[in-house]
């Protein structure tokens, strides 16, 4: 995201805090695609990402007074999206734990000679913390500092997670090429 659009988003958020509905609409329209992409890549299911996006914006609405003008907006917003996703994951995990299943579902087996995996499937194979960092850095375009703030980590920890993710992705690509 360019510096100008970040400044525009922060100006819209300031106006939204002051009760301007049109600013809220413009903010949602401008930032929803990137947030949806973040949630979809983390979640692995676009249906759930739609629900999580709505829940994220509800939480932003309830917590809009906590954002401080002059502070970067995107780390604050991505932190809310991240916590929304984690809460939903915990809820689903709890519900699955409570649900009794007579027989475990069958896993899909990839077809022999399948093509190189797409980005989504490669990202899905990463540990959650690494996938989250890669999506924020490379897909959403956040800086290291913004990702660190959004994930409540240090910049060094973000760099380390990104490095390990890159190594894992390189290994996956090598495996696919050797097949």
Residue 4's pLDDT band, with cuts at 50, 70 and 90, is low
Predicted confidence at residue 124, as pLDDT, reads 85
Q: What is the CATH number of domain 1-99?
A: 1.10.1740.10
Whether the per-residue pLDDT at 94 is higher than 80: the answer is no
Write down the domain spans for the chain: 1-99, 116-179
Domain 116-179 architecture: Orthogonal Bundle (1.10)
First to last CA, the chain: 37
Q: What pTM, to 2 d.p., does this model score?
A: 0.58
Q: Is the pLDDT confidence value at 60 over 80?
A: yes
Handedness of CA 150, 153, 154, 157 (dihedral sign): negative
109-150: pLDDT as tens digits:
555 555 556 777 888 888 989 999 998 898 888 889 999 998
- Residue 74: closest CA among 139, 9, 155: 9
Q: Do domains 1-99 and 116-179 have the same CATH topology?
A: no
């Amino acid at each position: 995201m360019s510096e100008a659009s970040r400044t525009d988003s922060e100006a819209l958020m300031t106006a939204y805090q002051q009760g301007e509905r049109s600013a809220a609409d413009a903010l949602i329209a401008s930032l929803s695609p990137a947030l949806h992409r973040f949630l979809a890549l983390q979640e692995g299911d676009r249906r759930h990402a739609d629900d999580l996006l709505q829940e994220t914006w509800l939480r932003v609405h309830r917590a809009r007074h906590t954002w401080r003008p002059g502070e970067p907006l995107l780390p604050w917003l991505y932190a809310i999206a991240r916590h929304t996703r984690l809460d939903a994951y915990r809820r689903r995990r709890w519900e699955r734990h409570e649900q009794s299943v007579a027989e475990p579902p069958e896993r899909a087996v990839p077809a022999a000679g399948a093509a190189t995996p797409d980005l989504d499937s490669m990202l899905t194979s990463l540990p959650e913390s690494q996938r989250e960092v890669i999506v924020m850095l490379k897909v959403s375009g956040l800086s290291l500092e913004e990702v660190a703030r959004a994930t409540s980590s240090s910049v060094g920890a973000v760099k380390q997670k990104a490095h390990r993710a890159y190594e894992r992705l390189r290994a996956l690509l090598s495996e696919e090429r050797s097949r």
